[in-house]
A and B are shown apart, each in its own frame.
Chain A
Amino acid sequence: MVMKIGILALQGAVREHARLVEACGHEAVPIKRVEELKHIDGLILPGGESTTMRRLMDRYGFTEVLRQSSLPMFGTCAGLILLAENVTDQTCGHLGKLDITVARNSFGRQVDSFEAQLDVRGIDEKAEAVFIRAPHIVSAGSGVEILSETAGKTVAVRSERHLGISFHPELTDSTVFHQYFIDMVASLAAETIR
């Protein structure tokens, strides 16, 4: 079945995610308005500037709706920060979807941004990972599975409905993470039907 995967299109690398969703054989839908959330099976929160995205999410009513929503979500970099329950230098998190604490810019400034090959639990091949002023996961609650680490820092996690990673698969040609998310969406949809 072809899944409709929304990509929050307020700011950031939207087109790149759309390209990989389509490469997996599914439909990519840019989301600029809250009403558009009704027609999708899963939502990607792309990389960009988390501060900017949060401001725009508040202004257009996304924050409240997404907090209540049961949509499966996949966040990369800034998107991971949006999904987290806690952010270290802020009084509260944004959407509180993943029971984790994240720290922003944890690998340094842009000159420290890097590429690496990662081992990821549940994915057979090495994953190409591009880290740009990336956050990392400081701690994770009991319902959260740790999928990958680099330099002693957790950089990929999942729960039943949510996938969060520190880096940008959308800047590579590899579809492994998008396929992983779409499989999550499909199995959750199958459960609901059953």
Chain B
Amino acid sequence: MQQTGTERVKRGMAEMQKGGVIMDVVNAEQAKVAEAAGAVAVMALERVPSDIRAAGGVARACDPRIVEEVVDAVSIPVMAKCRIGHITEARVLESLGVDYIDESEVLTPADEVFHLKKDDYTVPFVCGCRNIGEAARRIGEGASMLRTKGEPGTGNIVEAVRHMRMVNQEVRQISVMSDDELMTEAKNQGAPYDVLKEIKMLGKLPVVNFAAGGVATPQDAALMMELGADGVFVGSGVFKSENPEKFAKAIVEATTHYQDYELIGRLAKELGSAMTGIDISQLSLEERMQERGW
């Protein structure tokens, strides 16, 4: 008998993406550039985060026509974003044959109280997290993959670094806690006890955790791998750079060989300028996408 949509099949799909780079694309042409550069998947969306930031208003899931166009253009997996808590956007993306859905704070939340109950779906989900509480709650809801929230569309890596360090530090703390300490930790974090128990038993998260939100240079991608990321999402970084094709290839190579500093230096030398960055302190609390979701 063949069983689809099992936890192993959904988490396993993300395991296959490890050590790779997932790139935001807004059309078929960009998707082909990403595939040719060696991306392990593409994320279809209507506007990259820096443009969402600039445009303001409500950011929704991608037009199904763009999703279809991208699905037809490449043989690597296609991911797409839906708004936090938007059951129907998620179901529509699932019906379009998308391989992974990102329930993403980059889009305007549809529900400020409830995230999706993700284990109801056959398609797997990835979600953002800043700490072990958010990570464990998303896993508890059925997320099969995690990523740092970072601060999308800023070209500033500081928040992704903060979130990756925080989660890894908390995982290490949990792995040496006694069972009674674990229950108190679950209460303090608002995290499901069972998920924390699983983290303790494994000594690591039960799903892969990628870096996302502010990766703008090959050095940024390599830094996140150094800090323990399983792979990297690049949003605005690639197609907002001077030479997207070269840039995409450089990010892929820097992610694979993140400790080969000579190689990364060589790659960086050949690139034009990266996207312009934004200092996080210039963003008000309302402008910070990472504050969305809980």
Contact = CB atoms under 8 A, between A and B. Distances in A.
B273 interface: no
Contacts of B6: 114-115
B39 A113 contact: no
A49 B15 contact: no
Q: Which of B3, B5, B16, B41 has the most CB of A within 10 A?
A: B16
B2 A116 contact: yes
Chain B interface extent, by class:
35 or more
Interface of A: 9-16, 32, 47-49, 51-52, 55-56, 59, 77-78, 89, 104-105, 109-117, 130-133, 150-151, 168, 171-172
Contact of B40 (A52, A89, A112, A116): A52
Contacts of A110: 13, 77, 98-100, 123-124
Contacts of A56: 38, 252-253, 256
B97 A11 contact: no
B256 A130 contact: no
Contacts of B162: none
Interface string B8-48: 11001101111110000000000000011111110000000
A11 B18 contact: yes
A110 B125 CA distance: 11
A172 B35 CA distance: 29
Contacts of A172: 8
Contact of B19 (A14, A150, A171): A14
Interface string B97-124: 1111000000000000000000000111
3 smallest CB-CB distances across A and B, nearest first, come from: A110-B99, A55-B38, A114-B2
B285 interface: no
Contacts of B256: 10-11, 32, 56
A49 B8 contact: no
Contacts of B284: none
B243 interface: no
Contacts of B100: 110
Contact of B20 (A16, A49, A89, A151): A49
A127 to B, nearest CB: 14
B1 interface: yes
Nearest to B39: A52
16 contacts: A11-B256, A13-B18, A48-B19, A48-B20, A49-B16, A52-B39, A52-B76, A52-B252, A56-B38, A104-B75, A110-B123, A110-B124, A111-B97, A115-B8, A133-B13, A150-B2
Given A48-B17, A55-B36, 11 more contacts: A32-B257, A49-B41, A52-B39, A55-B37, A55-B38, A56-B256, A78-B16, A113-B4, A113-B9, A130-B9, A150-B2
A150 B253 CA distance: 37
A12 B16 contact: yes
